Each structure stands twice: as structure tokens, then as C-alpha cells.
Amino acid sequence: MTFRLDGKVALIFGAGSCGPGWGNGKAAAVAYARAGASVVAVDLDIGRADETQSIIEQEGGSCLALKADVTQAGEIKAAVAKTMAAHSKIDILHNNVGIDGMGNLIELSESDWNHVIATNLTGVFLICKHVLPAMIQQKSGVITNISSVASLSVRSAELIGYNVTKAGLNHLTRTLAVGYANKGIRANAILPGLMNTPMIYQVRELMMQYESEEAMVRARDAQSPTGKMGDAWDVANAAVFLASDEAKYINGVMLPVDGGLSCVTG
């Protein structure tokens, strides 16, 4: 069975990749396009959105690249308006943006705390606020929020802002799922575990825990019950399934994509 999205419009926030290779947002955008959807790739960094657009177009798909910062309500509103002007509907909303905001409760500054909340939580609130009216009018829509297994258990107290915002994102997702199910709208979250994406090589505090990149990869692989980290395609393929009509009765689910890690850590 293939989970086709022909004729659907997918709006992805954080659709670039934060480094060379495949991050979760870029892979999701390309996977939606490969399944037949027209993609709108939004990113804070327009160069990253442009890269996603060119990959999709080279494969014969359709993609519009837009610049928007999810901490800025006006930029979100403009991106949604441009999507509606181009396609007149939004079938799939994929919220991929998430920053780590390293620091424990004492170390994390108030402004960094506010920034991680603005990015990981208020950003999704604002995006949904602007996209939901179109979905309500259409009487259909799928929202997929990218959370983390850090929303379920505290793997690191040095990630207080991240842990708290991802836990909040889970409940925002459940509340959306309950609130709009009778309007034909589904909302689910994907909870990636330890993934081998460009992001892990860019977080200085993460890298500093290990003597080399190879040591970090070995340590992260060893923590997974499978003996290997996942990758961005594991998240992207789950998102395509959740967006498809085959998942039409799946609503309010927090789906770990973690090789079983959360069965061990809770």
C-alpha cells in the first residue's frame, strides 16, 4: 500500500535543513512531494527553503519556497496568505520547527527561556491560529506537530526549555485533536527519538560531551534498542502516513518514532 497525497497541499514550517544532508523538515517536505502533494516550504532561512524547493522541482514535484520566522505572527500570517493565494486550500500543516535552548534551570537566561517557548510552542499556536480557519472552511485538514521523546521523560535536565515546550506541544496537539475533530480536522504529534540528522552535529553542547563525532554517533547508536539511531526519513514516512486518508481515524496520537527507546525510558 502506498499512502498517496495526490492533489493535496502541504504547508511545512521549518522545511529546510539546518546542515548538509537530510534534516527532518527537508525530508518531510520531499516525502510529501514524492507522495504527490504540492508543497509550500517555509523557513527562517530562505536559502534552506530554496534548496528544498529545488530538490522537489528537480524530481518533477511542485514547491513554493517562502521565508518566515515562526516567532513573528505577521510573518506567519503572510506565509499562510501566500499559500492560500497560490493554492486556495491547505490540506496538511506540518510544524517541524524546534530549537534546543540548552541550559538547566539556573543557567538558562530568562530571554533564552522566552525564546524557546516562542519558537517551539507559541509558534505552533500562532501557525494553527492562522491555518485553522481555512481548514474549518474546507471541512478537512491534517496537522502534524514534530515533538520529541523528550516530551515523555527527562533524558537531560540541561534541556529544560526543550523538555517543557515539547511536553506542552503534545497537549496542544491533543487539545487541537479534540477541539476540531468534528470539523474534519485531525491533529497528531510525531515524537522522534535519537535521530542521525545534521542538527546533532551542530549543537555545540551536545558535541562537547564526546571526544569526536564518531564517539557521539557510537554512543547515540548504543542507546537505541535497535543499536542504531533513526534518520529523517523515518520521521518523514510517518508524517506521510498520518497525512494520508489511510490514517483517517488516527487523531490525537503521540507517535514515537524512536526504535523503541521510549519503551525503555518511559
Ligand X SMILES: NC(=O)c1ccc[n+]([C@@H]2O[C@H](COP(=O)([O-])OP(=O)(O)OC[C@H]3O[C@@H](n4cnc5c(N)ncnc54)[C@H](O)[C@@H]3O)[C@@H](O)[C@H]2O)c1
> Hey, is 245 helix, strand or coil?
helix
Residue whose Cβ sits closest to ligand X: 23
Nearer to ligand X, 136 or 207 (CB): 207
Nearer to ligand X, 141 or 193 (CB): 193
CB 9 within 8 A of CB 37: yes
- 30, 200, 206, 261: residue in contact with ligand X (rule CB under 6 A): 200
Contacting range for ligand X; rule: CB under 6 A; set: 1-9, 10-18, 30-38, 205-213: 10-18
Q: How far apart are CA 237 and CA 12, in angstroms?
A: 15
161: contact with ligand X by CB under 6 A: no
Q: Could you identify the residue written with the cell 571526544?
A: 211
- Residue partners of 166: CB distance under 8 A and separation at least 6: 98, 120, 147, 148, 150, 151, 191
Nearer to ligand X, 44 or 242 (CB): 44
The number of residues in the chain equals 266
DSSP letter, residue 151: G
- 38, 119, 224, 262: residue in contact with ligand X (rule CB under 6 A): 119
Q: Could you identify the residue written with the cell 497537549?
A: 171
Size of the site for ligand X (CB under 6 A): 29
Q: Which residues are catalytic?
A: 162
- 18, 29, 30, 177: residue in contact with ligand X (rule CB under 6 A): 18
CB 149 within 8 A of CB 108: no
Binding site for ligand X (CB under 6 A): 13-14, 16-18, 23-25, 43-45, 48, 69-71, 96-99, 119, 146, 148, 192, 195, 197-200, 232
